[in-house]
Amino acid sequence: MAVTPMMAQYLEIKAAHPDALLFYRMGDFYEMFFDDAVNAAEALDIALTKRGKLNGEDIPMCGVPVHAAEGYLLSLIRKGFRVAVGEQLESPAEAKKRGSKSVVKRDVVRLVTPGTLTEDSLLEARRHNFLVAYSEVRDQAALAWADISTGAFHVMPLTAVRLSPELARLAPSELIVSEGASFETTRPLADEYRIPITPLGKASFDSSSAERRVCNLFNVSALDGFGTFSRAEISAMGALIDYLEITQKGKLPLLQPPVQEAEDRVVQIDAATRRNLELTRSLSGGRTGSLLAVVDRTVTPGGARLLEQRLSSPSRNMDVIQSRLAAVDFAVDQSPLSQRLTEALRKTPDLDRALSRLALDRGGPRDLAAIRNALTQAEIIANLCTPHELPQLTANAVSSLLGFDELLALLDTALIAEPPLLARDGGFIASGYEPELDEARTLRDEGRSVIAGFQQKYAEQTGITSLKIKHNNVLGYFIETTATHADKMMSPPLSETFIHRQTTANQVRFTTVELSEIETRILNAGNLALEIEKRLYTGLSEAILIQAAGLNQTARGLAELDLVSALADLAIAENWSRPKVDNSRTFDICGGRHPVVEHALRQQNGAPFVANDCDLSAETGAAVWLLTGPNMAGKSTFLRQNALIAVLAQMGSYVPAERAHIGLISQLFSRVGASDDLARGRSTFMVEMVETAAILNQADARALVILDEIGRGTATYDGLSIAWATLEHLHETNQSRALFATHYHELTQLATKLQGVENATVSVKEWEGEVIFLHEIKKGAADRSYGVQVAQLAGLPASVVARARDVLDMLENGATPKIQIDDLPLFAAVAPTQVKTATSASDTLLDTINPDELSPRDALEMLYKLKDLKTK
């Protein structure tokens, strides 16, 4: 069977986009065919049908409504698909002008991929959506990343070892690499982090053509004004821009000039550490339970995105840290002002993303209104701050809010309060703004009353009270009566005025010359009004985009003020203190607390969190606390809380402690807990060793290292040996500040041999055979791990607990590591579920007592008797 012209067009467009599902626009639906239809129907759980045949086989087909397409797009993107959106580029009427059988022109106007989303419904408002390009040029490497929904654009040189931590920091939605060797070497890392990876041709990464692309984007002749970039950095930026040209079909987003970052600008935190510390995501993968969820009190999407960015990238620049802390100081001191700012910020729309949609021509009247409302709130916020002497960071943010009087006046005058979503709906331009529009609207709106007058006039003229004037898309306006009045209407004298148009089963339809003339005027007025509004929409968008650079600065200023106010609110509400951060190697925390655990305790039962001190200060050399104590006593919490306090301090926040003095930290490493990585063929122990190796190979003297239970995944003496050697290497080679938790009590001997190692333990109390966890850290070493008691708390059967006590007693009473199995009676001597002991004289005496019958004197005498029995 021959292919129809429509199907031929579909196949041609699909051939140009073989790796994407093709949304082929047909009227009010996006249709999919062949394998695309099969895959989409399964992924979206929609009906799979068929349309025609090809080579004798049915053509599978499915479709989604255009008005609901965004929801389906989101589902497909989350399931790993890319979608090519093929739109109609002309109307059916325009196609017919070329011939009655001409197919409507269609082409792909956009490739939808995870890293190129802009619609609010497809994005998380409080998170960035980064598209990252990685480039290697000879012995250089670089990353470039952009969020086209906000215009953020960054680039940094990179050493190979930093690719993994930087990808973990940015958590991109999509990674672009050069096809070939670079793709093959990068793919395992992308798979590990579950980042969709897209290979591009090597021409996209050519640094010479890449430089031209960057210059053309920013309309400059050279990049010197933005910084001095390596060939690898230029290559990465150019490849990212090329990918945007491919996916956006030449309609490039409004990117800000590239911000060049350095590797030593932020604290290095690898993926394992981020996961262990649950900075922005909990171990379960969600936001709930993370540090970000607990500290986030921002009220704007921009402020929330900035908070996540700062928390993911604690600064190593002392001036930056101090300026941020000074801004929070001011907000804490001026708490009433901060509260008023928060209320004003709460009403501020997402300026960044509204601006980006307008630049990509995906916006609408509500985006115009969002920019108007944001500028209105910015003016209010600036006026609130004007009477105060502001710290530098806050002053810079406030100064970026002003200077848009003309634009704001234009938008205020032009727009109604609550515009519709789409420009094609019309009705968003305020009355009085454009006289020509007002005139067209008047004619359009009064036309309705004119039609009503015609209906009354014709009803009186004909004597038919049921006569109606109606409208449809085929006949336009027409006069309708029931069939019973047909003869009267088509006979003189009425037939001279009323022209017959159509007869149906129950009605007869007419028109008049007068009605046709007014219809033309009304229809033209409606279309004219809509065309005028579309033209005004384009003009308003252009007026906004001309000031895009300044508006981007305003968006950043609003986000900065939101974050500062939120951190101040957090500090006051949670009783946090300002940390002292300097260039020393001090690490002195007094009364430190774990913010997430403290929050959870308060939510669950209101129990207080037990605060603890930590001092890892050392002018030179290592400073290590060797922490021992039972499981469940709080060792891991203590380890994590000190790492989180360091992160918060260097991001520029107050911290959950009575006092904190932190010498600048360059790297943060945490190896806490482990699990199998079956997909990569790694056991728990192998994962543990890989993470430990990364720490020992990279940690420098300014690193903060958190290690928990090194060597526990293998045989006792193997594990002890590895833990011993690891501790020595940290002390002698890395010379880092570190917390090292272990159950190998033999390691406590190292405190007498290694100058920078101190023993610390978690306090416990035994009471009637049970262990009570005090959660207090003190100097010294634990003498035991209380593992049997913890097993009992966990609910192990009493027989197992009793048996474990027997084995433990024998081992602790001098049994050698090569203990003979016969020394421990096995299954023949299994302890009963209830252990019986001999009845003592005191127990016998107690059995004879009835407390209700004892006088006070009798009770006193009984106590003396019990005491005598106890001493015998």
Neighbours of 557 (CB within 10 A): 23
Q: How far is CA 628 from CA 111, 593, 670, 741, in A?
A: 56, 19, 17, 6
Question: What's the average model confidence in pLDDT over 833-849?
Answer: 63
Please give the model's pTM, rounded to 2 decimal places.
0.83
Angle at 259 between CA 144 and CA 224, to 5 degrees: 100
d(C-alpha 495, C-alpha 498), whole Å:
5
- Please give the torsion angle defined by the CA atoms of residues 68, 70, 76 and 80, in that order, rounded to the nearest 10 degrees: 180
Q: What are residue 662's DSSP bridge partners?
A: 581, 587
Token pair of 619 as six digits: 């002018």
Pick the residue with more confidence: 626 or 690? 626
Q: How far is CA 573 from CA 287, 289, 535, 672, 718, in A?
A: 21, 19, 51, 30, 48
Token pair of 156 as six digits: 């940094």
| 665 contacts 703 by C-beta, under 8 angstroms | yes
Three-state SS at 737: strand
Give the domains, in start order, of the chain with CATH numbers. Answer: 5-112 (3.40.1170.10), 126-265 (3.30.420.110), 297-404+547-574 (1.10.1420.10), 435-532 (1.10.1420.10), 580-785 (3.40.50.300), 796-829 (no CATH), 841-871 (no CATH)
- Under the banding of pLDDT at 50, 70 and 90, the label for residue 827 is very low
- Interhelix angle 548-574/301-312, nearest 10 degrees: 70
Q: Quick: pLDDT tens for 462-473.
A: 999 999 999 887
> What is the identity of the amino acid at 303?
G
634 is in an annotated binding site: yes
Which residue has tokens 């008797």? Answer: 865
| 351 contacts 554 by C-beta, under 8 angstroms | yes
716: left (phi over 0), alpha (psi -120 to 50) or beta: alpha
| 728 contacts 696 by C-beta, under 8 angstroms | no
Share of the chain above pLDDT 90, in %: 61
Chain centroid offset of residue 302 CA = 12
Kind of pairing between the strands at 174-178 and 131-137: parallel
Give every CB contact of residue 592 below 8 A, 6+ residues apart in sequence.
611, 612, 613, 614, 641, 642, 645, 655, 656, 657, 660
Q: Quick: pLDDT tens for 21-70.
A: 999 999 889 999 999 999 999 999 999 998 888 877 889 999 999 988 98
Chain centroid offset of residue 749 CA = 46
Handedness of CA 478, 484, 490, 494 (dihedral sign): negative
Neighbours of 799 (CB within 10 A): 14
632 is in an annotated binding site: yes
631 is in an annotated binding site: yes
Give every CB contact of residue 666 below 8 A, 6+ residues apart in sequence.
264, 267, 268, 316, 700, 702, 703
608 is in an annotated binding site: no
633 is in an annotated binding site: yes
Token pair of 831 as six digits: 């302890």
| 292 contacts 285 by C-beta, under 8 angstroms | no
Kind of pairing between the strands at 507-511 and 499-503: antiparallel
- Under the banding of pLDDT at 50, 70 and 90, the label for residue 838 is low
Q: What is the CA radius of gyration of the chain?
A: 37
pLDDT over 90 (residue 561): yes
583 is in an annotated binding site: no
Q: Quick: pLDDT tens for 577-590.
A: 999 999 999 999 99
453 is in an annotated binding site: no
d(C-alpha 129, C-alpha 151), whole Å:
11
pLDDT over 60 (residue 815): no
- Under the banding of pLDDT at 50, 70 and 90, the label for residue 715 is low
| 469 contacts 451 by C-beta, under 8 angstroms | yes
d(C-alpha 386, C-alpha 388), whole Å:
6
